[in-house]
Structure formats: structure tokens, C-alpha cells
Amino acid sequence: MLEKVEVGKKVKVLDIEGKEDSIKKLQAMGIRKGKVLEVVQKLGRSIVVKVDHSKIAISKSLAQKIKVQ
Amino acid sequence: MRINVALVGNPNVGKTSLLNHIAGTTLRVGNWAGTTVEKKEGKAFYKGYEIYLVDLPGIYSLEPFSEAEQMARDYLLSQKPDVVVNVLETPNMERDLLLTAELLEMELPTVIALNMLDEARRLGIEVDKEKLSELLGIKVVQTNGRTGEGKRELLEAIVQTYEQKIKPFPLKYSQTLEEYLSKVEGNTKFEKIRKAQEVYGEDFDRLLKDERFAFAHGLFYKVVKKVNQGAFDLTDSLDKLLLHPVFGLFFFLFLMFLMFKIAFDFSAPWMEWLDGFMNNFISPLIVYLLGESLLSRFLSEAVVGGVGFVLTFLPLIASILFILSLLEFSGYLPRVAFLMDGLMHRFGLHGTGFIPLLLGFGCNVPAIMASRIMETKRDKLLVLAMVPFMSCPARLVVFSFFAVLFFPNPALVIFLLYLFGVLVAFLTSFLLQKLVYRGSLHHMILELPPYRLPALKLVLRITWAHVKHFIYRAGTLIFAVSVILWAMLNLPPGISNPKDSVAGHVGRALVPIFKPMGLEDWRITTSLIPAFLAREIVLSSMAVIYSVEEGKKEEFEPRKALQEQGVAFVNALKESFLNLLNPMPKALEVKEEHSQLKSAVKNSMNPAQALAFMVFILLYTSCLGTVAVLQEEGGTKFALLFLAYSFAVAWVSGVIAYKLLSIL
């Protein structure tokens, strides 16, 4: 799970669970199966990841649904 | 001839900068009718055409995740713009092309603007725009929103696309998907897809999504060439500090302190000077020129007073919106959401809400305008319902008058009142979340764009557009109501005592309502009427109604008065810069005033009544400026409901405070 990944590590997205709008939005923003994410920072309830050339802040509750390797 | 153009693109791709370069001074801001979503528009003249551009909300997809996507989609479908300009952030093209695919499905005349050319160059990204144009069958231009580079080419492309009705080649998806589509009716691919979604449901949806991604991906690899791996990235290095759990928070709080200082302390002397200029110079000048009459009094008091009142808001609004725009265009603002999320989430809000709530302590009016930075409608309305309970300097003036007069340790009383205001704000938000905006807080998903040096011209123009909007919309309402309030106090003609005015009668009729909180004196209830303009007015109107302060009758001499205003101007200039050097927020200081009123009030009230009155003033939105901007940002219904709600809460709290203190 993305939530558990340490700051500075790069991981590959295996799967994203769920069909709700926030998942669709994540995918539209570039976080999809097969993409490489770098965890930039974590603070309290949220986590910042870098995908391609953009950085995205997401709630950890959402990060739980992103399975990574 | 007019060409209607819609700018569509992901958030932070520089649409607004681009619009600013094209539209120049015609740039206007407002809200989309009936929504809380901000709208920017402007126009340009090119080759005999009037090109009208509207900036649609930044979206990643046309799938309706929120109000923003819904709005953009509805606009494209119902308004059918003559030309759609799809703005792409070149460094993030692969992601951005998903929206492009969805736009192409609509089969509207389209132009692609590859923006952020400079950033792409720095990252070593090259795009073959001719090839992109060939593949899609539409014009592709490269632009740089910061410098305005490519502006002419874009206008040229818009005109040509319009004249030649250049529509994109029909999109071809895989055979499986096209088979689905061939079985449904529809004029455009978009319509067919919508039908197919209804008929075939989820299986089709999943396939469509994959196909769109595949299309974006494929197109990206056909036209983008990476020359070299990006070198040193400033954003990454800055984020190591600015997103840091300790340093990042510390920096943010420091930034807020600076914002508070600049916005409130820097503009306070100007507001005071403007107020003095209108009331001590323009007003008496009119009476001097026209002689004493009801008309000259109307002009000098109601009209000049009203205009002056609106004007005094401008330094505040200008400085706050300037700083907010600076934060927004530099890319820092979304980082606040990340930093403050832990704290604000406890109250059911996203992190960005911290900024307007904090600004509320300086002045509710610009704080409410600052709610435009909230990402969702739910968050924005929650913030709008909370800000007015943040105690501001106008309330402090009233509190310090009564607290010093009736309580042994006034500082504690004032502190508790501030705290109580915050408490009511959070209770209100809690209540709204339980009753109106049910369901848990949406997950935060926010892009943190690269740091960009905002163009000063752009920030100034946006600030000016907001100030103009405030004058036209909120300003006219404020002016109108202030004239009505003046009339209530001064009509019927020929009255010498406020007791006989319309306001005096209304004030007496109000007494039964205020009786449960111990306020039985018609002079107090009457003074609340003009205080609807702004809370601190309650003191000066009390002074008039208790008739302890006679209107100053000084001989007015234009030349001398003008000289005085000149001196005051220089002092204001000096003071505003001195305030910046003073490390303490000046907005929290109190001035001694109304000494004669003190004894009169002391004799007619007891501590319990005074506390009830202060609690009432704290909570009731007795501030015309606040109501006017609430109406602008949240809608008329919202503003009126909120006004009634604040009155009810203030009344109940006032009664409880009175009863409690009477028992003790």
C-alpha cells in the first residue's frame, strides 16, 4: 500500500481499488496502473507523491487504496 | 463579428496567464451564474473580429467529479463555443491529453495551445507540433503564458479555425469499442458514448477509460521527444523545505503573519485617511457650497458617507487579493492545504480553509472574498458560514468600550469573547456538516504545481479586476443600504431628535425582542440600526442618541481644510510604512474614544446587560460589507439565511449570557 511507503522511495502502481469519483480523478491526474510514484513527503493525514512531472497531495485514506510494489 | 472562445485545460496549466496576455485590461472576474465557481473572461480584437474568451474551471476530465467538471461540460454542450482552445501544460502532456481526447469526442472546432514552453525546454522536452496537428487535424500553437509568447499565433489559429470551421478528425478507438458505438444513435462521438454508457454500463465504461488513456499515451509517444533528462529542479529542492513537517509549517505561519501585517496594518492608515477625507473634507465642502438644507445634508451625509464607506474597504481588499493572487500564481497555495490538513481536518475542513478563517480576525470582508481559494463548493460554503464569527477590530472597539466600563479584568472578557466566536464558528460548521453537507469529507486530491515566479502585471490585473468587481456588485449594495439607513435616521424631515425618526420608532418596536437579554432601553435598540453598517458605529450612534456628543460645529474653511488633508495624507503614508516595521499586529490595538458616552452608558446598564450586548454584537452579522460579499460569494439566499441564523444565535447566546450573569 502506498500509505506505508517511506519518504524518498519510488514504487510502481500495481492496482487501484474502488470505483468512486476520487479514484477516477486520481487516474485522470496520472496515477494509474503501471506508473512509477515517488513519495515526496508525508504529514499527518496526507502524503505527497510525484508522478511524471507533477506532484499530487492525497489523503492517506485514499493512498490506502493504491496498491504498490 | 464575434467569436466565442472557451479556454479548457487542467488546473495550473496557465490558462489565466494566457487569458491575461490576450485580454489585457478587459479581464474580468466574477462567479458563474448560480454557482460558487469563479469565472474569468475577457476579449481581444484581431483581424476585425471581437474574440470573446471565457476561462472554464481547471479540470482533468469532463467526467463530472465535482461542480467544476459539470460546469465545463454543460458550458461546452449548451453554449457551443465557436472555438475551443485546449490549453496543455507541455511538461505534463501525457496527463493533459486525456482531457484532449474527451474534448475531441465532442467534435467542436478546436485549437491546441501547448503552454509552458519555457518549462518544457528546461526539462528537455520537445514536441513535434506539426505532427500533432497532422494527427488530429487541428491547429496547434506553442505559447508561454508568462511572457505572452505565441499570443498572436494563437489568435491567428482561432480566427482560421473559426473561418474554415476546422474540426478535429473523428477519433478512432479500438474495434471493440467502435462496435459498441455503431449500435447506438448520436450525432457526435460524445453523444454516442453517452448513449452507450447508459446501455452497456460498467463494462463499456471500463473499456472506454482504458481506450482514452491508451490514446493519450500513444499520442504522447508519437509527438514528444525527451532530449535529455531534466537537470536541477528548483521545485523539488524548495519542496524539501516548504513541505517539511516542521520548517514548512513554521514558514507558512510566518507567511501568514506577514500577510496579516501587510494587509491590515499597511492599509489601516489609508482607510482612516480616506474616511477622514470624505467625512471631514468632502462632506463639509458640500454643505459649505450648497448651504444648510435637507438636500445638502443628504448629499454630504448619505451620499458622501456611503461612497466613502465603500472606498474604505478598497485598500484592504486590494492588498489581500494581491497577496492571495501572489500565493496562487506562485504555486504555493495548494501546499497550504497539505500543511494545514492535519489541523483543519478535525473541523471537517480541508487545509486551505485556514487562510480565510485567519484573515477573518483582520476583517471579515476580504476574508470572505478569500474563500474563493477553497477547492470545493462544500468547503467554500462552510468557510463562508464560519468567517463572520471571527471577531474583527470593529468588534474589538465595542468590546473594549463595554468591557473596560463594566468588568474588573476586561482583557480576559475580551479574550473569552474571541474564543466564543471561534467556538460558534466551529459549531456552525459542525451543524452544517450534520444537516446540510452530509457524508464524510472528500478525500484530498490536489496537484502541487511547480513554483513559478508570478508576473507582477498579471497579479496586479487580477487584483484590479477583483476590486472593480467589488465596487460594481458589493459596492452598490453597500451604498444603497447605507443611504436607506441614513434616511431612517433623518426622516421624517425636520426632526431634531433621533427619538422621532423612523429609526427611533423601529428601535422602540424592537424593545420586546431584546427584553429577554435585559436590553429594555430604546436608545440601545435604536443604536443597533445604524450599526448594521458596521459594528463600531454602535458607539457613535449611541453618543448621538444619548445626546451626549453634540455634532462638532467648526467653521469650515476650504483652503485650510485641504491643507489639513494634505498633512494627514503624508502622515498616513508614514504610518503605513512604520506599521510594517512594528512586529506586533496593529489590528489588535485599541484606541480610547467616546469618554463622555461612558458615564451615560454606565448609568443605564449593568454588567449582565453589557455582556449580553457584547455577545450579541459578536455573533450577529451587523456588518453590511460582510453581508454584501456573502451575497456575492454564496448567493442571495445564503446571505439572507445566514443573517437570520446569526441573529438567532446571537439572541440565544445573549439571553443565556444575561441570565447566567444575573444569577451569579
Domains in chain B, start-ordered, CATH in brackets? 2-226 (3.40.50.300), 248-663 (no CATH)
Per residue in B211-222, pLDDT (tens digit) is 999 999 999 999
Q: What is the ipTM of this complex?
A: 0.95
- CA A35 to chain B, closest CA, distance in angstroms equals 12
- Per-residue DSSP letter, B13: S
User: Are the CB atoms for B593 and B396 separated by under 8 Å?
Assistant: no
**Is A52 close to B444, i.e. CB distance below 8 A?**
no
CB-CB neighbors (< 8 A) of A27 in chain B: 209, 213
Q: At which residue does the C-alpha cell 537537470 appear?
A: B231
Give the pLDDT of chain A (69 residues) as one tens digit per residue.
888 889 999 999 999 888 778 888 899 999 988 899 999 999 888 899 999 888 999 988 889 899 998
User: Are the CB atoms for B32 and B78 separated by under 8 Å?
Assistant: no
CATH class of A2-68: mainly beta
**Is A22 close to B442, i.e. CB distance below 8 A?**
yes
Q: Quick one: what percent of chain B has pLDDT higher than 70?
A: 96
Per residue in B343-402, pLDDT (tens digit) is 888 888 888 889 999 889 988 998 998 898 887 888 899 999 999 999 988 898 889 889
**How far apart, in whole angstroms, are the C-alpha atoms of residue B290 and residue B311?**
24
| B36/B188: higher pLDDT | B188
Alpha helix stretches (DSSP H) within B45-125: 67-79, 93-106, 117-122
**How far apart, in whole angstroms, are the C-alpha atoms of residue A41 and residue B654?**
47
- CA B345 to chain A, closest CA, distance in angstroms equals 9
Per residue in B289-301, pLDDT (tens digit) is 888 888 888 888 8
The answer for residues whose C-beta is within 8 angstroms of residue B588's C-beta and 6 or more apart is B393, B396
**Is B94 close to A43, i.e. CB distance below 8 A?**
no
**Is A30 close to B239, i.e. CB distance below 8 A?**
no
CB-CB neighbors (< 8 A) of A48 in chain B: 239, 243, 338, 448
> Of B43-47, B272-276, B295-299, B526-530, where does the model show the most confidence?
B43-47
> E strands along B464-542, which residues?
none
**Is B123 close to A43, i.e. CB distance below 8 A?**
no
Residues in B 226-265 with any Cβ partner in A closer than 8 A? 230, 235-236, 239, 243-245, 248
Of B65, B338, B450, the CB nearest to A43: B338
Chain A touched by B152 (CB under 8 Å): no
| Angle subtended by helix axes B410-435 and B393-406, to nearest 10 | 130
- State the pairing for strand pair A46-51/A36-43: antiparallel
**How far apart, in whole angstroms, are the C-alpha atoms of residue B114 and residue B395?**
51
**Is A25 close to B339, i.e. CB distance below 8 A?**
no
Alpha helix stretches (DSSP H) within B243-301: 247-260, 266-277, 283-290, 294-297
CB-CB neighbors (< 8 A) of A41 in chain B: 239, 243-245, 338
Q: At which residue does the C-alpha cell 449593568 appear?
A: B606
- Indicate the Cα dihedral angle B396, B399, B400, B406, nearest 10°: -170
Q: Which residues of A fall below an 8 Å CB-CB distance to B?
A: 21-22, 24-30, 32, 40-41, 43-46, 48, 52-59, 61-62
User: Are the CB atoms for B148 and B21 separated by under 8 Å?
Assistant: yes
**How far apart, in whole angstroms, are the C-alpha atoms of residue B448 and residue B430?**
29
**How far apart, in whole angstroms, are the C-alpha atoms of residue B241 and residue B270?**
36
User: Are the CB atoms for B261 and B585 separated by under 8 Å?
Assistant: yes
Say if residue B418 is exposed, middle or buried (CB neighbours under 10 Å; 0-12, 13-18, 19+). middle
| Angle at the Cα of B597 from the Cα atoms of B591 and B599, rounded to 5 degrees | 110
Per residue in B299-353, pLDDT (tens digit) is 888 888 888 888 888 888 898 889 988 998 898 988 998 999 888 888 888 888 8
pLDDT score for B557: 84
**Is A52 close to B334, i.e. CB distance below 8 A?**
no
3 state SS of B487: helix
Residue B60 — pLDDT band, cuts 50, 70, 90? very high
**Is A53 close to B91, i.e. CB distance below 8 A?**
yes
Chain A touched by B94 (CB under 8 Å): yes
- CA A67 to chain B, closest CA, distance in angstroms equals 17
**Average pLDDT, integer, range B163-170:** 92
Chain A touched by B20 (CB under 8 Å): no
> E strands along B329-474, which residues?
445-448
- CA A9 to chain B, closest CA, distance in angstroms equals 14
Residue B63 — pLDDT band, cuts 50, 70, 90? confident
